[in-house]
């Protein structure tokens, strides 16, 4: 499994939690305690409602996603 700057980018300044999916791509929880969102650098999936969830809900959703996602798309653009 080869990681790239796309699937494992530099940590953003507002990073709260970084998880990794089944193949090592970063799944980031960013924002603030009461306004957090998640984004998967493997497949591009993200929070349905950006920055509306408190971090505990966002963390659970991101972790559920990371546990199932097997994508490591190297040239995905936001
Ligand atoms: Zn994913």
- Give the Å distance between the CA of 9 and the centre of ligand 1: 14
- Could you please report the per-residue DSSP string of 19-64? EE-TTS-EEEEEEETTEEEEEETTT--B-SSTT-B-HHHHHHHHHH
Query: Token pair of 78, please?
Result: 């936001």
Range of the structural domain that residue 50 is part of: 1-78
Confidence of residue 77 (pLDDT cuts 50, 70, 90): low
- Give the Å distance between the CA of 1 and the centre of ligand 1: 15
Number of C-beta neighbours around residue 40 at 10 A:
23
Max Cα-Cα span within the chain = 35
Phi, psi (deg, nearest 5) at residue 35: -140, 85
Mean pLDDT of 46-59: 82
- Give the Å distance between the CA of 39 and the centre of ligand 1: 8
Q: Is the pLDDT of residue 65 over 90?
A: yes
Provide the number of structural domains found in the chain: 1
**Residue that is written with structure tokens 């996602």 in the block:** 69
Read off the pLDDT of residues 34-52 as tens digits, 9 standing for 90 and up.
899 999 999 999 998 766 6
């Amino acid at each position: 499994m080869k990681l790239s700057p796309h699937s494992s980018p530099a940590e953003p300044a507002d990073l709260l939690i970084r998880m990794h999916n089944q193949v090592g791509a970063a799944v980031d929880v960013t924002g603030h305690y009461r306004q957090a969102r998640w984004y998967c650098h493997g497949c591009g999936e993200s929070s349905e409602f950006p920055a509306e969830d408190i971090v505990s809900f966002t963390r659970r959703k991101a972790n559920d996603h990371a546990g199932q996602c097997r994508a490591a798309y190297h040239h995905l653009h936001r």
